[in-house]
Structure 1
Amino acid sequence: MEIDHALLAPIYAFLKCETPDEWTKEAKKKENLAVLLTDHLLCELKAAQSAMFLIRRYAVDSESAKALLDWLKPYEDFAYRKVGHWQDLEKLRLNKSIIAKTNAPYSQDLIDKMVLLIKEELHHFYQVLEMMEEYGIPYENINSSRYAKGLLQHVKTHEPNSLIDKLICGAYIEARSCERFAKIAPHIDKKLGGFYVSLLRSEARHYQDYLKLATDIAGTNISDRIEFFGKKEAELILNPDDDFKFHSGTPVEVIRMA
């Protein structure tokens, strides 16, 4: 499988650390495939939920907000309540025009980028379910890792800084996802590795979209804030972690054995 290293160069420049080899060793173990795919699946849904929250909170009118919720609900019903059949999800579409709020200068750009991101994340959600079917892994809901919460706890509470911080966090989450797809793709089953390579381009664009939105909305230099979250993100990746997941830190068991 061919990995586009030119595509990844900005990712590596943006992130403050690479994924530790110890995590990769755990990720390629067959006994960890179920948790890896299940957590990846839920990460795709949470990425869509996060983008949808931003649109609903900051960019659209009430009717558009309801249409967005209706679009997402079947995915949430399947993931959290085991309602519906996963193969029906691919047929779902957003069937209403999304209308921007008045007097919000960044609304349309936020809508355009986040709606595309949601469409892609929900499609990836379906694709991961296809992979789970391929490998005979039944879907069971699992707890989230510490990763996203560990970043978002540092978000400021006043606007527009709260929105800007959330967008910066989104950029780091998408960039790390891209980096991890590339990291493990050569070490796993060819079919799954090829699937992960196929996700690199969209994940790389997602991180850039989040970062551009943060910069444009701020209207000023936010490099210090980007640097702050970069350091926090690296700590979550490098620090010991006893809960192996897609975005988890250095596995504790590996550290003990070293």
Structure 2
Amino acid sequence: MSVISSSEVSSLLQPINAFLHSETPQAWIDEARKEENLRILLTDHLICELKAAQSAMYLLRRYVADEQTSKVLLGWLKPYEDFTYRHEGDWQSLNTKHLSKNVFNVEGLDPFKKDMLDKMVMLIKEELHHFYQVLEIMYELGFDYKSVTSSRYANGLLKHVRTYEPEKLVDKLICGAYIEARSCERFAKLAPHVSEALGKFYVSLLRSEARHFEDYLTLAAAISPVDISERVAHFGAVEKTLIQSHDDTFRFHSGSPVAA
């Protein structure tokens, strides 16, 4: 993995920090740097990478793919879901070489759907590749995969999503933007407090995923019939509360840990 300069980290973080309404609490960083929490941190990070791919896949299946293509898309994720949720399969056989937007018939797609297709296929491939990389690190450290419960974070955002279209899609895209931005902010927060190799890995993820939140916002603005600023601010306030308020479950996106 390549070394990335502190000035480049600052440059990548500038739009992310400007978008987020709060920084990660120091109490979360203090908990994350504890050696005994590394296994659960990596495990939850692994699952978050898969969930990010699943969220992007949902958007493609719901808004872009026809019925036949939708079935093909389900096959993309099945080996990863089998391993993660059903403990089936060999993690070393997982790869993203078979993922291609060529399975889509792009004729007749409007510009918005074509843009969503381009952005989400790239995001899915990157998230699944990062899933595999986290697994490699876990096994190098001697951590067998064992599933963990989810944090409150994503559901805490998604329960504010409106139920009618296109507002439902707009809100889901904005939620995706906040989840991606917070992930990148935490990569940067973690990097100085873990091993050099793991720190370089987290910074490489920051470089790779820094644009994801902007991709989601671009799509939200393109499909919304009105300016999205009000909804962005609304979800920003919700996300801030989830990050800053006390949380009794320590996870990659959890809030401020409750003192023991």
The TM-score with structure 1 as length reference comes to: 0.95
SS in 2 for 1:106: helix
Tell me, in whole angstroms, the C-alpha distance in 2 between the residues paired with 1:20 and 1:214. 28
Is 1:106 matched with 2:112?
Answer: yes
Match for residue 80 of structure 1? 85
Q: 2:169 aligns with which of 163, 178, 181?
A: 163
> Aligned pairs, how many?
254
Tell me, in whole angstroms, the C-alpha distance in 2 between the residues paired with 1:234 and 1:39. 20
SS in 1 for 2:103: coil
Superposed CA offset, 1:84-123 (max 9, x none): 1001002652255223485655211111100000000000
Tell me, in whole angstroms, the C-alpha distance in 2 between the residues paired with 1:219 and 1:185. 40
Is 1:218 matched with 2:224?
Answer: yes
Is 1:50 matched with 2:61?
Answer: no
Report deviation, 1:201: 1.9
Amino acid corresponding to residue 55 of structure 1 in structure 2? L
Tell me, in whole angstroms, the C-alpha distance in 2 between the residues paired with 1:57 and 1:43. 21
The TM-score with structure 2 as length reference comes to: 0.94
Tell me, in whole angstroms, the C-alpha distance in 2 between the residues paired with 1:162 and 1:99. 25
Tell me, in whole angstroms, the C-alpha distance in 2 between the residues paired with 1:104 and 1:158. 21
Q: 1:203 aligns with which of 203, 206, 209?
A: 209
Match for residue 116 of structure 1? 122
Superposed CA offset, 1:180-203 (max 9, x none): 000110011111111000001222
Match for residue 28 of structure 2? 23
CA separation of 1:212 and 1:88: change in aligned 2, threshold 3 A: same
Taking every aligned residue pair, what percent have the same amino acid on both sides? 60
Amino acid corresponding to residue 185 of structure 2 in structure 1? E
Amino acid corresponding to residue 202 of structure 1 in structure 2? S
Amino acid corresponding to residue 122 of structure 1 in structure 2? L
| Contact 1:60/1:100, CA 8 A, preserved across alignment | no
Residues 105-254 of structure 1 correspond to what in structure 2 (within 5 A)?
105-253=111-259
Tell me, in whole angstroms, the C-alpha distance in 2 between the residues paired with 1:44 and 1:75. 10
Report deviation, 1:218: 1.0
Amino acid corresponding to residue 151 of structure 1 in structure 2? L
Is 1:70 matched with 2:75?
Answer: yes
Structure 1, unaligned runs of 5 or more: none
CA separation of 1:184 and 1:211: change in aligned 2, threshold 3 A: same
| Contact 2:76/2:99, CA 8 A, preserved across alignment | yes
Report deviation, 1:219: 4.5
Amino acid corresponding to residue 227 of structure 1 in structure 2? A
CA separation of 1:54 and 1:101: change in aligned 2, threshold 3 A: farther
Structure 2, unaligned runs of 5 or more: none
Superposed CA offset, 1:196-243 (max 9, x none): 000012221111100100011114311000000000000000000000
Tell me, in whole angstroms, the C-alpha distance in 2 between the residues paired with 1:226 and 1:100. 30
Tell me, in whole angstroms, the C-alpha distance in 1 between the residues paired with 2:170 and 2:107. 18
Q: Which moved more, 1:65-74 or 1:162-171?
A: 65-74
| Contact 2:180/2:212, CA 8 A, preserved across alignment | yes
Amino acid corresponding to residue 13 of structure 1 in structure 2? A
| Contact 2:24/2:243, CA 8 A, preserved across alignment | yes
Superposed CA offset, 1:42-79 (max 9, x none): 00000000000000001111121111111110000000
